[in-house]
């Protein structure tokens, strides 16, 4: 068993060699936050192994029987007038031992005015993208490890251009019930375009991430730590606005050390009363904070907060995420127990 797990970890980490650089990929909507709970905990959490059926869109290894007959509907009022939503559902069969999961992400970019090279109007156009995923997870023998996978079909329409793609997600999950501790390694968006927009094949946003969470003993708090985009090192780039000049006019770029690189991969989150009918969620995304903050001005980029309220068979969630002083996002979610 240990040998099998070791081989699996080696295969997962080998994919680091094929990492893609951010900003050079298509289907970027695959990285959009999938639910208010995710958004409130900093943007990416991979270790929720409870009722949260939306979690499996990001980490298929979390698919479990507690998600049986749970339906989640989420909507986000995003930046620049963009709106998008996700939906997820799970169903358990075979004497409650096999749970299958389905999820969908849809983004609408709105309407745009088109012009040709001479500045003549060509009418309005729109853009939208969709990803449909089907997932399943299983326990590895009688161990504390679980393995899950998503198969995703991706469609994209931007003005007159269309593209279809396919991708796989893999997750390896470790659960320690005695410590109420969870750790996971996730490989996301391992795939390719099937048809391209205009004959040029573009990579999709491949990602490797690692996450941990634990419920504190005798304290109603669960903490979360996520290390995202581990395939991309170094991830931080010098900010031209933070360069300095000496008396001779020589310019020195911002220096980002090893710790600064690690921090930009890190997301922190905490849930207060995580198992109650009412809970509070807080998160901080270091990379978002560093990339969007304004020099010499405190604008609280990277901070997010949300709440959840359970009423009978329904659970309402809301999150407000801070991006810049001029742009923020609101996330709304409803999960229904169809038992």
Q: Cβ distance 63 to 137 under 8 Å?
A: yes
pTM of the model as a whole: 0.85
The percent of residues in the chain predicted with pLDDT above 70, rounded, is: 90
**CA gap 224, 50 in Å, rounded:** 14
Contacts made by residues 102-105, CB under 8 angstroms, sequence distance 24+: 102/132, 102/133, 102/134, 102/135, 103/34, 103/54, 103/56, 103/57, 103/132, 103/133, 103/135, 103/150, 104/130, 104/131, 104/132, 104/133, 105/29, 105/30, 105/32, 105/34, 105/57, 105/130, 105/131
pLDDT at 21 > cutoff 90? no
The candidate with the shortest Cα–Cα distance to 35, out of 85, 97, 79, is 85
Say which range, 75-89, 94-108, 239-253, 288-302, has the weakest mean pLDDT.
239-253
3-state secondary structure of 159: coil
Residue that the structure tokens 């270091």 belong to: 286
Domain residue spans in the chain?
2-110+125-337
* 5 confidence band (pLDDT: 50, 70, 90): very low
pLDDT in tens, 232-279: 988 887 777 677 776 777 777 778 888 888 999 999 999 999 988 999
pLDDT in tens, 278-318: 999 999 999 988 887 776 666 788 999 999 999 999 999 99
**CA gap 34, 131 in Å, rounded:** 12
The Cβ-side half-sphere exposure at 11, using a 13 Å CA radius, reads 10
pLDDT in tens, 119-150: 888 888 889 999 999 999 999 999 999 999 99
Question: Once rounded to an integer, what is the mean pLDDT over residues 57-76?
Answer: 96
**CA gap 193, 22 in Å, rounded:** 17
- Superfamily grouping for domain 2-110+125-337: monomeric porin ompg (2.40.160.40)
The candidate with the shortest Cα–Cα distance to 84, out of 327, 331, 314, 306, is 331
**Largest Cα span, the chain:** 77
Any residues with CB less than 8 A from the CB of 293 and at least 6 apart, and which? 299, 301, 302
**CA gap 248, 93 in Å, rounded:** 73
More confident residue, 106 or 245: 106
**CA gap 144, 138 in Å, rounded:** 11
Question: Once rounded to an integer, what is the mean pLDDT over residues 199-219?
Answer: 94
**What pLDDT shows up at residue 149?**
97
> What does the block give as tokens for 84?
């998008």
**What pLDDT shows up at residue 296?**
65
What is the chain's mean pLDDT, rounded? 87
């Amino acid at each position: 068993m240990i040998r099998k797990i070791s081989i699996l970890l080696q295969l997962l980490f080998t994919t680091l060699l094929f990492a893609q650089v951010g900003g050079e990929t298509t289907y970027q909507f695959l990285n959009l936050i999938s639910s208010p709970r995710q958004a409130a905990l900093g943007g990416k959490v991979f270790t929720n192994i409870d009722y949260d059926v939306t979690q499996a869109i990001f980490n298929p290894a979390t698919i479990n029987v507690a998600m049986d007959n749970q339906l989640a509907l989420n909507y986000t009022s995003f930046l620049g007038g963009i709106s998008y939503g996700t939906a997820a559902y799970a169903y358990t069969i075979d004497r409650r031992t096999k749970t299958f999961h389905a999820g969908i992400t849809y983004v609408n970019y709105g309407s745009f005015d088109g012009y040709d090279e001479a500045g003549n109007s060509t009418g309005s156009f729109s853009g939208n993208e969709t990803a449909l995923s089907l997932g399943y997870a299983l326990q590895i023998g009688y161990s504390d490890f679980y393995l899950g996978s998503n198969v995703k079909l991706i469609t994209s329409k931007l003005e007159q251009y269309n593209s279809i793609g396919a991708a796989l997600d893999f997750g390896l999950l470790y659960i320690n019930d005695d410590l109420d501790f969870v750790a996971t390694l996730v490989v996301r968006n391992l795939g390719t375009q099937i048809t391209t927009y205009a004959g040029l094949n573009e990579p999709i946003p491949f990602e490797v991430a690692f996450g941990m969470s634990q419920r504190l003993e005798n304290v109603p708090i669960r903490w979360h730590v996520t290390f995202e985009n581990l395939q991309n090192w170094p991830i931080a780039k010098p900010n031209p606005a933070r360069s300095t000049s000496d008396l001779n006019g020589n310019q020195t770029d911002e220096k980002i050390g090893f710790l600064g690189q690690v921090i930009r991969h890190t997301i922190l989150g905490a849930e207060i009363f995580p198992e109650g009918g009412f809970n509070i969620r807080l998160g901080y995304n270091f990379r978002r904070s560093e990339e969007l903050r304004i020099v010499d001005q405190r604008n609280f980029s990277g901070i997010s907060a949300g709440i959840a309220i359970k009423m009978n068979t329904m659970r309402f969630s809301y999150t407000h995420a801070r991006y810049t002083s001029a742009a923020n996002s609101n996330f709304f979610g409803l999960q229904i127990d169809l038992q």
